[in-house]
Chain A
Amino acid sequence: MILIVGLGNGVTNKIEDTFEEMGSNVITAAAYMQTSSKHIEYDGLEELVAQDDNITKFSPYVITNVNVRVERKERTITVIGVSSSYLSIRNREIEYGRNIEYIDEKREQRVCLIGNHTIKKLFGEKTPIEEVVGKNVRINGTLFKVIGVLNELSTSSFSTEDDLFLIPYTVAQKEFAQKYITTFYFSYLDKESAKTATDVIDKYYYQVFKDADDYIIVDAQSIMDSMNETIDTIKMVLIAIAGISLLVGGIGIMNIMLVSVTERTREIGIRKAIGADKRDVLMQFIIEAITTSGLGGVLGILLGIFLTNTVSKAFEIRGDVGIAAILIASGISTFIGIIFGYLPANKAANLHPIDALRYE
């Protein structure tokens, strides 16, 4: 039961982390096919965002994987063309240097931001980030100047968010010969405005394309909500399973207590014959029940925590047992122990000592 709840929390945490990394307050809009008559213009979106209070910022997203060269090292790296707003939309920061600015976009400056991991790949493991800023890199054959280093997200070592270059979208369009921008990122004011913002963007896109199949608009928040809903359902099922196992365990405890009372009827008879009264016999069995089920409970909790941690490590999720699960599980097991310890003990305590003594 402890294990199940712990792992359930772990999976939820993992998914939340992943979304956190993606930037949860983000709407993504992507157009599949753009023609000269039907396409999204940067200026048009700029106007839309300026007019609507729900949408705060937007950025193009022109992504490619290209060869990047530094001195003799060459690697294939993700290069994304963005605007100056991109970092704040994605909750990213500059660790050193400066961001891409409006002027870089307008003048199509060949400048780039570099991810922490990329530095290690291209410049070597121990290169200080300060040294990288100002260096030139050759992206797809063209020289770019590094102007800033992105902060490290580091939640997992293989994150693509730490291994990339960001360049002005205008430069990206030109370098990678993309006439139209396929994808845009939007940020919105707060959770409440997510729906309206999505609708506004959708309406704009529909006006352009006149066909909802030509584009897709995704709101990260709504995905996360439905994900959470699914996870909650899974959790409920898991808890139900845990509950059933608790019930089965309870029946087990009940049987053990019943058997032990039956087996020890003679002992009860002896104890009563030498002066134990009902209360003495009852107390003895209840204390035994509490220690039996309590000890089992403690062992179960320890085992549960241990397994949760082990499995969490193996699957790289943040398992979290939670005090509520511990309290409920141990509470119920002790409760069952006491109840089913009490009932047969009460029966035994009421036995006539001579009957109990004769019991074989």
Chain B
Amino acid sequence: MIELKDIYKIYQTGDTTVHALDGISLHIDDGEFVAIVGQSGSGKSTCMNIIGCLDIPTSGKYILDGVDVSMLSDDELSYIRKNKIGFIFQQYNLIQKLNVINNVELPLIYKRISKSKRLEKAREALKRVGLENMEHRYPQQLSGGQQQRVSIARALAGKPSVILADEPTGALDSKTGIDVLQLIKELNDEGNTIVLVTHDNSIAMQAKRVVRLQDGKIIEDTVIKES
């Protein structure tokens, strides 16, 4: 469960102050599929970074699964990330010199899970995204869609509370994009909480709830489909 209460993120560059997030309050329940949409500069990326514990708000409270994470230290945020958050990035962000299975098991290494368990979970996640026979390939040997699937498997492997997808289809052609989006939808059907960030309305409409940001404020919060 994600609870944002009156979140501000203010950047100070020289004399100008930018309110990237200007008093955001948002509640996301377990199992929801929320799309955060907005133009570039609307604050959607900042919002995602804060939800993903990559960044901390200037003020306001962020409660994730009952824990206030808004003022945690760097290492404490790492701890939250590895246990609660799974990331899917636009650029996949796989580590090029590691093969597929090693990429997927990476978050499990940081969770100090034993080798045999790690491999088991990583294989399970790969199977879920349909790449079970590509374990030993390297990222550059895969297509964009396959790489994004690997990154989805990596996000899944740690069984996070929430999967954050930042423009997951942005780097893919439309056909592959649809496939990846379909996979994300299925993951939600299986009970995963998904927060998808995009600038593309048609993609946002695939989610069950749309939160529209503009100039750091929520201007729309619509439930499209009951879950």
Contacts and interface: CB of A to CB of B under 8 A. Distances in A.
Interface of A: 266-267, 269-280, 350, 352-354, 357
B154 A274 contact: yes
B114 to A, nearest CB: 16
Contacts of A270: 93-95
A277 B78 contact: yes
B75 interface: yes
Interface stretch (B47-55, B182-190, B200-208): B47-55
Contacts, number: 59
A266 B154 CA distance: 17
Given A267-B95, A357-B93, A275 B110 contact: yes
B110 A354 contact: no
A280 B74 contact: no
**What band does the interface of chain B fall in when counting residues whose beta carbon is under 8 Å from A?**
20 to 34
B55 A354 contact: yes
B54 A273 contact: yes
A272 B55 CA distance: 12
Interface in B74-97: 74-75, 78-79, 81-83, 85-87, 89, 93-95
Given A274-B107, A277-B110, A278-B75, A353 B54 contact: yes
A351 to B, nearest CB: 10
A274 B87 contact: yes
A274 B82 CA distance: 6
Interface of B: 49, 52, 54-55, 74-75, 78-79, 81-83, 85-87, 89, 93-95, 106-107, 110-111, 154, 158
Given A270-B95, A354-B49, A357-B93, A278 B78 contact: yes
Nearest to A354: B54
Contacts of A271: 95, 106, 110
A279 B107 CA distance: 14
A357 B55 CA distance: 12
A275 B78 CA distance: 5
Given A278-B74, A352-B55, A353-B54, A273 B81 contact: yes
